[in-house]
Amino acid sequence: MVVGSPTAREPGGSADPPVEQASGRSQRAKALVLALLGSWTFVVGAAILAFWIVDALIWRILVPYDPEAFASATLQAPSLAHWFGTDDLGRDVFSRVLAGAATTLTVAPAATALGVVGGILVGLFTGFYRGIADDIIMRIVDSLLAFPLIIIAVLVISILGPSVTNVILVIGIVFTPIVARTVRAAVLAEREREYVSAARLLGNSGPYIMFAEILPNITGPVAVEVTIRLGYAIFTSATLSFLALGIQQPSPDWGLTISIGRAYLQIAPWEVLFPAAALATLIVAVNLVADALRQVLEE
Amino acid sequence: MWRFLIKRAGLALVTLLCVSVILFAVAQVLPGDVGRAILGPWATEVQVRALDHQLGVDRPLYERYWTWLSDFLRGNWGESYLLRRPVDALVLDRLKNSLILGAFALCLIVPTSIWLGVVAALSYGKWLDRCISIAGLSLIALPEFVTGIIVLAIFAVELGWLPASAHVPGLNPLSWFRQLLLPSIPLMFVLFGYISRMARAGTVESLRSNYVRTAILKGLPRRTVIWTHVLRNSLLPTITVISVQTGYLVGGLVVTETLFNYPGIGKLVLDSAIGHDLPVLQATVLLVAILYMVLALAADLLYTLLNPRIRLSA
């Protein structure tokens, strides 16, 4: 399930002599960008992702119709006036597809950010200090991973009630231990290295070493984990919307639209097929970026 | 080898116990006032109290946990709040339906993915390898309801070949395909990505190994090298992935069964969670956890039996 390799480390790493560190770092960054631009999976993925991010920010300018305005022309097939047709309430499907990116691209990054920040904190502390807390947390991770995320989310959201905040919370909290595991594995490898012992001998405090010394050296695996988690977050939040446990009507959210529109699949397939295609392109784009990033960082 | 397996079984038991505690805790928060939820807002306070007492929800927590767990172990799973039916018959019937759907999907997709994964590895770096890898990567990522709705639109609505909502098939193998093919496609897509990727990685690794080079250099035909030297070793990690992904299947079933209206355990989890039907929800989720642990143990056992390096050490 965890696709990212926890042992991947930034090429070069901390082996560079400290004097050349500044120029070495910018050179490495340059090499990294060049390698990414040379990978067509990254270029295609990033282009599609950039399209949807821009769309999520400025859809208000792009939409030809108000995505929430009802009209009498319901369930119209795609035409010149309505490129993607109209839905069961006469709303323009093209406008709703453009507007629908905003919710997905708010919920999923927020949930990912929550999980990544939590995961970095927990991973750094458990990997650096080890001890009983480490054992207990790793057991919790194992039992969490033993359960399909959707089932956990269904359980929690049926208690707390369906809402955007609850979707972000449940995905973020489930992601925390998963990210923590990747971070911990990277920290375990780093803490044995000379620069950490040197920092200890200099009398630096534990938190300082963790955040100022180790964290910058594990950005590679963390970056890969972030993109992979973002893909899963989009997957999960869209699925929860589809199960009517996330964003509620009349939002043009893609998962929600598909859930409602499937009743009209026989007579107006465009109402669901266009949002489905939009969601598919976004998710595949994120995964292409994640895969390219992993490959480039591992080489 | 036995020590390893006993240790794994012990860990699985501890995890199950944790799951049961969490599930019980969830079940305590979930309903709020059980009696009120069942009787509705117009029942009197006295009626609600009486029902609470009858259901046993007014007793202390540890006592209720113990009663619930020991009842579960004895096969006494109570009665559904909503359907007023014994939980065990309901859950086991739904579980059977889901096993039929899951087994159907696995039987079709496991050989296909392993085959394509090995093909990709054998044409390493060529366009065929790229195509299979990108297809796998994209199919893993797509939510089941997206692929599900697309196949529904094509095969049920546009072409009309297969029914849009699935029923439990009869004994006729043709009816298996008719009823189960569409709902299993979204599951197969996700599984295909994981299994073919593992099969490819394992094959690439053993193709690069010294013993395969030796086998080639000693003049064995390519077919023999692949069948006896490469496949045996490359399929080991694939077995683990299949067991892990069988656990995933349960999550995927929630979505596909909802989309295709198939009466399985995934739909039961969703319906009982939304309807706050606690006895059903607890029994179903705990059963899923047990099933998952058993599968993981079975995979460990199979892995040790097939891998001489683990079998002979210890």
Q: What is the mean pLDDT of residues A253-262?
A: 88
The residue of B130, B149, B244, B271 whose CB has the most chain A CBs within 10 angstroms, and thus the best one to mutate to test that interface, is B149
- Please give the radius of gyration of chain B, using alpha carbons only, rounded to the nearest integer: 24
Report pLDDT for B312.
59
Which chain B residue has its CA at the smallest distance from A228's CA? B141
Q: Which of A239, A265, A276 sits opposite B157 (nearest CB)?
A: A265
Q: What is the mean pLDDT of residues A267-274?
A: 87
Chain A positions touching B144 (Cβ under 8 A) are 239
Report pLDDT for B296.
76
A210 pLDDT exceeds 90? no
Q: Alpha-carbon distance B299 to B289, whole Å? A: 15
Report pLDDT for B33.
66
Asked whether the beta carbons of residue B276 and residue A158 sit closer than 8 angstroms, the reply is yes
Min distance B81 CA to chain A CA atoms (Å): 16
Asked whether the beta carbons of residue A159 and residue B288 sit closer than 8 angstroms, the reply is no
Min distance B108 CA to chain A CA atoms (Å): 21
Report pLDDT for A21.
54
- Under the banding of pLDDT at 50, 70 and 90, the label for residue B225 is confident
Report pLDDT for A50.
93
Q: Alpha-carbon distance A238 to A272, whole Å? A: 13
Which chain B residue has its CA at the smallest distance from A290's CA? B137
- Under the banding of pLDDT at 50, 70 and 90, the label for residue B69 is confident
Report pLDDT for A212.
87
CB count, 10 Å around CB of B185?
20
Report pLDDT for A14.
43
Question: For the segment A223-250, what is each residue's pLDDT rounded down to a tens digit?
Answer: 888 998 999 999 999 999 998 888 888 8
Report pLDDT for B237.
74
**In sequence order, what are the residues at sequence separation of 6 or more whose Cβ sits closer than 8 angstroms to the Cβ of residue A52?**
A101, A105, A278, A281, A282, A285
Which chain B residue has its CA at the smallest distance from A275's CA? B146
Q: Which of A143, A151, A269 sits opposite B254 (nearest CB)?
A: A151
Q: Which of A146, A262, A286 sits opposite B149 (nearest CB)?
A: A262
Q: Please tell me which residue, B311 or B52, carries the higher pLDDT value.
A: B52
Question: For the segment B187-216, what is each residue's pLDDT rounded down to a tens digit?
Answer: 988 888 888 888 888 888 888 888 888 888
Least confident residue range of B28-37, B104-113, B290-299: B28-37
Min distance B258 CA to chain A CA atoms (Å): 8
How high is the ipTM of this complex? 0.79
**Are the beta carbons of B305 and B13 closer than 8 angstroms?**
no
Which chain A residue has its CA at the smallest distance from B159's CA? A266
A8 pLDDT exceeds 60? no
Which tokens sit at B180?
């189960």
A143 pLDDT exceeds 80? no
Q: Is B10 on the interface with A (CB under 8 A)?
A: no
Chain B, residues 152-211, CB within 8 A of chain A, namely: 152-153, 157-158, 164, 194
Which chain A residue has its CA at the smallest distance from B145's CA? A239
Q: Alpha-carbon distance A216 to A22, whole Å? A: 13
The residue of B145, B159, B240, B278 whose CB has the most chain A CBs within 10 angstroms, and thus the best one to mutate to test that interface, is B145
CB count, 10 Å around CB of A291?
24
Chain A residues within 8 angstroms (CB to CB) of chain B: 1, 41, 139, 142-143, 146-151, 154-156, 158-159, 231, 235, 238-239, 242-243, 255, 258-259, 262, 265-266, 269, 272-273, 276, 279-280, 283-284, 286-288, 291
**Nearest residue to A88 (alpha-carbon basis) of A78, A74, A77:** A74
Q: Alpha-carbon distance B293 to B304, whole Å? A: 17
Q: Which of B149, B250, B258 sits opposite A243 (nearest CB)?
A: B258
Q: What is the mean pLDDT of residues B238-264?
A: 83
Report pLDDT for B231.
81
Which chain B residue has its CA at the smallest distance from A230's CA? B141
Which chain A residue has its CA at the smallest distance from B286's CA? A147
pLDDT above 90 covers what percent of chain A?
20
Asked whether the beta carbons of residue B143 and residue A143 sit closer than 8 angstroms, the reply is no
Q: Is B144 on the interface with A (CB under 8 A)?
A: yes
Chain A positions touching B143 (Cβ under 8 A) are 235, 238-239, 242, 255, 279, 283
pTM of the model: 0.82
Q: Please tell me which residue, A137 or A91, carries the higher pLDDT value.
A: A91
Asked whether the beta carbons of residue B141 and residue A286 sit closer than 8 angstroms, the reply is yes
Chain B positions touching A41 (Cβ under 8 A) are 134
Min distance B164 CA to chain A CA atoms (Å): 10
Measured CA angle at A142 (ends A139, A143), to 5 deg: 90
- Under the banding of pLDDT at 50, 70 and 90, the label for residue A106 is very high
